[in-house]
Amino acid sequence: MSSSVSPVSSVTEAAPGYRARHTLPLRVEAVRQLRRRRTLVMGVVLAALPFVLVAAFAIGGTPEGRNDRVSLMDTATSSGANLAATALFVSAAFLLVVPVALFCGDTVASEANWSSLRYLLAAPVPRARLLAGKLAVALAFSAAAMVLLPLVALLVGTVAYGWGPLSLPTGGELATGDALARLALVVTYIFLSQLITAALAFWLSTVTDAPLGAVGGAVGLTIVGNVLDAVTALGSWREFLPAHWQFAWADALQPQLEWGGMLKGTAVSVAYALVLFALAFRGFGRKDVVS
Pairing mode, strands 166-167 and 173-174: antiparallel
**Distance separating alpha carbons of residues 154 and 122, to the nearest angstrom:** 46
The least confident of 7-21, 113-127, 213-227, 245-259 is 7-21
Instruction: Give 252-289 pLDDT, tens digit per residue.
Output: 888 888 899 999 999 999 999 999 999 999 988 777 66
Instruction: Give pLDDT, residue 11.
Output: 43
Q: Is the pLDDT of residue 92 over 80?
A: yes
Percentage of the chain beyond pLDDT 70 is 84
Q: What is the pTM of this model?
A: 0.86
Give the 3-state secondary structure of 154-194.
Answer: HHHHHHHHCCCCEECCCCCEECHHHHHHHHHHHHHHHHHHC
Domain boundaries, the chain: 26-61+70-286
Across-strand partners of 125? none
More confident residue, 99 or 28: 99
Stretch 28-42: mean pLDDT: 88
Asked whether 43 and 56 are in contact (CB, 8 A), the reply is no
Q: What is the pLDDT of residue 12?
A: 40
Residue 2 has pLDDT above 90, yes or no: no
Q: How far apart are CA 166 and CA 186, in angstroms?
A: 14
pLDDT score at 15: 53
pLDDT per position as a tens digit, 127-173: 788 888 899 999 999 999 999 999 999 999 999 999 989 988 887 88
- Going by C-alpha positions, the residue among 164, 227, 194, 175 that lies closest to residue 99 is 194
Nearest to 200 by CA among 142, 239, 244: 142
